Structure 1
Amino acid sequence: MSYLSYAVPLGSLALALPMLKQRLELSRAKHRSLAGHSKMAKQLAKWLPGYAFDEARFFDCDGAPAEVAAQRRAAFEQLGAGFAERYSKTLALTAQAREGLADLQFTGAYRVPFQFSPLVRARLKVGAFVQSAEGVHLTDLDGNTFIDLTGSYGVNVFGVDFYKACMAEGAQIGQALGPVLGAYHPCVADVVTRLQAISGQDQVSFHMSGTEAVMQAVRLARYHTGRKHLVRFCGAYHGWWEDVQPGPGNPMPPRETYTLQDMSERSLQVLRTRRNVACVLVNPLQALHPNKNAPGDSTLVDGSRTAGYDRAAYTAWLKQLREVCTERGIVLIFDEVFLGFRLAPGGAQEYFGVKADMVTYGKTLAGGYPVGVVCGRRDLMQRFREKRPADVCFARGTFNAHPYVMGGMAAFLKRLDTPEIQALYEDQDAKWDARAKLFNNTMAEHGLPVRAANMQSIWTLMYTQPGRYHWMFQYLLRWQGLALSWVGTGRFIFGLHFTDTDFDEVLKRFVAAGQQMQAQGWWWQGEQTHKSIRRSVVREMWQHLRA
């Protein structure tokens, strides 16, 4: 054989080796869970069979003895009747609205694991309407009051009364202009100055939601770097648009997105060696549950939810990330839509002591009005090139900088500087860690298999024993007068205005609900383990696939 016949394949192999090495590094930097493998997760979601337990199987799918199943059935029926009577007006309007409101249909279907969902929706209905809010309380259409642990999806940092005042002042500020758009209200100039000071960034742009703000930040990063790919970390949420939600929930396949393992040296190595990464997105909320999707009770299949926050470790990770992004010319974006102004007056940048290249805000910033904001370096925020006038980075929106929204933001930022609000930030870590410790000690003292992990005022509930009925806890908590979002015990969002007295009342209601869970047999243990439950679920799926 000629020399050429050896040289060509060897040369091809030599050329391919660097690419193969990069591909291997990328694969190793992904988290081993499905949350880290978007394509695989989407395929599994298509394959997963839908099935529901009948009434007999509903109450003993964990192998509980007949007397426990009967106990559960009686308690379930009694609670359903109690809901129907206590919340009758609220449930009636919810049923009426559900017929035409797709959001209600979706959230109603995903409150609990899908095997239980049809019967729960039919027999244990939850209302979606409230008529008033004051202090830490919500009041439904029937006059029932609840302590609010929903936090309005993160908007409510300082309490509803604070936001009512901001919204009223914002409406008053914007009233003279009304719906005039395009021209700015004079308050915008002061808002920009305050945001520059808070964010430590040079320029600001306004948008209509947090999702839009993240979209614009990523678009600007791509525009200025000339690179296509973004990096997000496993489990992190950055809104519902295509590139940042590459797994189930998005009908499009993953494209210019790398989903890497959070807090991993292997991920840093990918950033050091890839030349196509425009930006890295960081949602600091992931520090509470790194590499896991947002927790919800619909995924409480066996009760093996885990969470835990280590401020020092996450701070060290962000500093490493900052160093590598600087070294490689990658835009570091802090997505503070959820946590902005909760951890500290200057947000996550101040709290962790790490400065990003761009920051996105939303939720709480407009004082109760919908908003999205991008703050960034001057060179990154520019949307055009003087020397290439046709090469622009477009981003507009009809309601950007709406006078009422800008007025609400001005009111919010003015109040943020007051001594009363600044005082709420003092010793936050210590205050909320002490409350979490009190919660966990109280649960242990009462023999309840429930523990909390927290990142300051954001909490997640965990369970110390395996089980298939932990999801039932959310309904008994509601019965005890605690308002929860549709994700149930996956996330509680306290306001910083919660007093010790308020918290003590929450704790008392948790104990009452936990004792009901025990008395009604939902926490019957038997011989089950996490592994045995998962195997049982796999068998159920296989049987329904075969059928």
Structure 2
Amino acid sequence: MNELWIVSILGCIATLLLFRKFAIRLRLSKAKHKSMRGHSKWSRRIAGWIKFFEYSPQQYFCVDGAPEEVAQQRINGFNALTNKVKKQSAKTIDQYQQISGDISDVQFTSLYRVPFPFRTHLPDVFKLGSMIDASQGVKVKDLDGQWRYDLSGSYGVNVFGYEFYKDCIKQGSSRVESLGPALGSYHPLIADNVAKIKAISQLDEVSFHMSGTEAVMQAVRMARYHTKKTHLVRLCGAYHGWWDGVQPGVGNRRKVDDVYTLADLSEQTLKVLSTRHDIACVLINPLQAFHPNADSASDASLIASDRNTHFDKTTYTRWLKRIRKICTDRNIVLIFDEVFTGFRLSYRGAQGYFGIQADMVTYGKTLGGGLPVGVLAGKHELMKRFKHDKPVDVSLARGTFNSHPYVLGAMNVFLERIAEPEIQKLYQNIEQTWIERVAHFNQLLKESDIPIKIDNMHSILSVNYLQPCAYNWMLQFYLRSNGLELSWLGTGRFIMSFDYTDDDFNQVIHLFIESAIQMRNDGWWWYSPTLSNSSIKQQFLKDMLSASLPFKVKGKNKHQGKTNENEQSPTSLTHAKNSNSDKVYGS
């Protein structure tokens, strides 16, 4: 009898433990975003299944079911734009083609400027990026002598304008020129830099690295080392550098089981943070407030017109404060990844902008005064790389070029300059300045009947498309041909420097609208009542599955498949074959 009683008790305990384990797992699952971005392992599996497919020349200009005359209109505009770019940028294109086979980054960015089914027949002049040899004010110059307004912001480096950074580099070099690139020892400027970074971050210690990615790696390593916990939490869609330890989804081939990717702005995420015992740190990229639960907007993923960047400062501030409280209560390290947003959103970066103190902060980009750098600032107890009572239990982090004298020199000038009254005054007004500029931009777009709305988070802008369309990715090429310099993300992100005057930006608006009108006149924004973002994406999915699966998917367009050898390229076509049966999207 006693044995049966013991077995029953053990059975109940086992059942309760299994139920508890299931409940914990269910809570974690509910905290994941429903998209593939929120399910890292599945996103990697699915990425491996997807096979390349391309639209044939007959389909290329009418995948949305546009009638023959519209397809011909697009072909004419496509050819005219191609010829214009060839004439404008002959030297630049030639130089870029010479390096394209030797530099892996060039090969990648050249192919990922548009959705992949369109890239094969895209002319090389559109695939290639730019080469520039001079900057002046808010403009950059290519090898053919063309000056363009810079909307790329050098991927976030250029906060205060190129002239500002040229001066930082020049003055900084003069401060360390007697030492040169001596490594290992420290130039005495490091003490002043550290004092200024500590005052800005309101944290205790600083370590120097060669990039923002390295700074993030060190922050995560130290959080795990001191909390003795295994997992980090990142929010869905957030980018924290190319290290696979913070990139568990597509792009990483290593098995990563120590990262939780949880939904942004989710009550379920807060429950996970409040109940799990294995979370060492939470990584916050403040830019995620601009597109919660979504990747950075890029024209390579612009399948339809459902890009949705939107910023609500009040809501996101409230969200971050709740995370801050939970991290404090649960001994979780709160890390602000300010590699991109540091010194842009405010003098104290996102900490000052949202009014939240982090436990650790990573910096990069602009802090080097125009030179490459990564910096980690943190509390004393989190930055220590050894334990007094366990002398062999250490956490190593070194780098040959950490604290490079020339970087320290440019950084020193940068930190001095941004503390000056002129820059401090600029910080007080710059956000409102960009809010007003974007409002004016949108008013002019509306008056010009352009199906576009510009959204912004501070001085970071994105183009949202208001009308269902499968060809929005073409706009980037019109913009560039008319004097606007974009990054390889295209219209997904414009990073504006603070030295833009109202006159400068009004000229950008003028060139943007001129480009959009040309695109509209060339038929790319043709619209049918049967066309919707859903129908565009559904057909794209069918086409993709048809190429990936060993059997045909019902509804697949009969012209789908690789181009036949006898078919002409789009730029040589004089007409587009089309009929009701040829329609793909919106049919």
TM-score, normalised via structure 1 length: 0.98
Q: Distance in 2 between matches of 1:394 and 1:199?
A: 23
Asked if 1:239 is matched to 2:255, the reply is: no
Aligned match of 2:212: 210
Which of these residues, 13, 17, 20, is aligned with residue 22 of structure 2? 20
State the partner residue of 2:68.
66
**Correspondence for 1:535:** 538
Question: Counterparts of 1:337-376 in structure 2 under 5 Å?
Answer: 337-376=339-378
TM-score for the superposition, normalised by structure 2? 0.92
| Residue pair 1:229, 1:278 contacting (<8 A) in 2 also | yes
SS across alignment from 1:212: helix
CA contact (8 A) 1:337 1:363 kept: yes
Question: 2:518, 2:167 → 1: CA distance?
Answer: 39
Q: Write the letter of the residue equivalent to 1:494.
A: M
Would the aligned equivalents of 1:150 and 1:493 in 2 still touch at CA under 8 Å? yes
Cα distance in 2 between the residues matched to 1:181 and 1:544:
54
- The answer to whether residue 427 in structure 2 is matched with residue 425 in structure 1 is yes
Task: Kindly indicate whether the alpha-carbon contact (under 8 Å) linking 1:91 and 1:125 is maintained by their aligned counterparts in 2.
Answer: no
Distance in 1 of aligned mates of 2:96 and 2:26: 51
Which runs of 5 or more structure 2 residues have no equivalent in the other structure? 553-587
- Give the SS at the match of 2:450: coil
Partner AA of 2:22 in structure 1: L
Are the structure 2 counterparts of residues 100 and 332 from structure 1 closer, same or farther at C-alpha, using a change threshold of 3 Å? same
Indicate whether 1:111 and 2:125 are aligned.
no
1:395-447 residue CA offsets vs partner (Å, 9 max, x unmatched): 00000000000001001001011122222212223211111111111111111
Pairs aligned (count): 547
2:564 corresponds in structure 1 to none
5+ unaligned residues in a row in structure 1: which ranges? none
2:122 alignment partner, one of 82, 103, 120: 120
CA distance in structure 2 between the partners assigned to 1:343 and 1:28 by the alignment: 32
The answer to whether the Cα contact below 8 Å between 2:110 and 2:129 also exists between their aligned partners in 1 is: no
Alignment of 1:242-281 (within 5 A): 242-281=244-283
Shift of 1:69: 0.5
Tell me which of the two structures has the higher relative contact order, counting C-alpha pairs closer than 8 angstroms and 6 or more residues apart: 2
Equivalent residue, structure 2, for 1:290? 292
SS of match in other structure, 1:425: helix
Q: How far apart are the structure 2 equivalents of 1:3 and 1:320?
A: 46
Report the secondary structure of 1:119's partner residue.
Answer: coil
The whole-number CA distance in structure 1 between the counterparts of 2:422 and 2:79 is 47
Corresponding residue number in structure 2 for 1:145: 147
Q: Are the counterparts in 2 of residues 148 and 483 from structure 1 also a CA contact under 8 Å?
A: yes
Is 1:402–2:404 an aligned residue pair? yes
* 1:436 corresponds to which of 438, 443, 451: 438
> Quick one: distance in 1 between partners of 2:165 and 2:205?
26
Q: Can you list the C-alpha shifts for 1:256-306, whole angstroms capped at 9, x where unaligned?
A: 000011121211110111100000000000010011011100101112100
Question: What is the DSSP-based 3-state SS (H/G/I as helix, E as strand, rest coil) of the residue aligned with 2:399?
Answer: coil
1:452 CA drift (Å): 1.1
Give the corresponding residue for 2:305. 303
* Residue in structure 2 matching 1:544, options 530, 543, 547: 547
Task: Render the CA deviation track for 1:211-257: whole Å, top value 9, x for unaligned.
Answer: 00000000000000000100000000000101211110111233200
Aligned-partner residue type, residue 422 of structure 1: Q
Indicate the residue corresponding to 2:170 in structure 1.
168
Matches within 5 A, 1:4-83: 6-83=8-85
Distance 2:418 2:302 in 1: 38
| Counterpart secondary structure, 1:426 | helix
Contact residue 424 and residue 497 of structure 1 kept, 8 A: no
- Aligned twin of 2:198: 196
Give the superposition deviation at 1:71: 0.8
**Displacement, 1:10?**
3.0
Give the conservation status (yes or no) of the 8 Å contact 1:238–1:244: yes
What amino acid is the match of 2:360? M
Q: 2 CA distance for matches of 1:333 and 1:125?
A: 37
The amino acid across from 1:525 in the alignment is: Y
CA contact (8 A) 1:113 1:299 kept: yes
Please tell me whether the aligned partners of residues 362 and 375 of structure 2 are also in contact (alpha carbons under 8 angstroms). Answer: yes
Per the TM alignment, residue 541 of structure 1 is displaced from its structure 2 partner at its CA by 1.8
Confirm or deny: 8 A CA contact 1:287 1:314 kept in the other structure: yes
SS of structure 2 residue aligned to 1:306: coil
User: What SS is found at the alignment partner of 2:316?
Assistant: helix
Asked if the contact 1:433/1:456 (under 8 Å) is kept, the reply is: yes
Structure 1 residues 446 and 205 mapped into 2: Cα distance closer, same or farther (>3 Å)? same
Q: Secondary structure at the match of 2:256?
A: coil
Q: Quote the Cα distance in structure 2 between the aligned partners of 1:265 and 1:194.
A: 37
Pairwise mapping of residues 318-329 of structure 1 onto structure 2 (< 5 A)? 318-329=320-331
CA distance in 2, matches of 1:20, 1:277: 18
Q: Which moved more, 1:428-437 or 1:239-248?
A: 428-437
Q: Check the 8 A contact 1:436/1:453 in 2, yes or no.
A: yes
Letter of the aligned partner of 1:110 in structure 2?
Y
Amino acid at match of 1:275: H
Determine the C-alpha separation between the residues in 1 that align with 2:252 and 2:144: 38
Deviates more, 1:345-354 or 1:361-370: 345-354
CA distance in 2, matches of 1:483, 1:123: 15
Q: In the alignment, which residue of structure 2 is the partner of 1:462?
A: 464
Q: CA deviation at 1:49?
A: 1.8
- Secondary structure at 1:453's aligned position in 2? strand
Deviation, 1:468, is 0.5
Q: 1:382: Cα distance to partner?
A: 0.6
Q: Residue 4 of structure 1: CA displacement?
A: 5.9
CA deviation profile, 1:100-157 (whole Å, cap 9, x unmatched): 0110000011000001111114363434210100100000000011000000000000
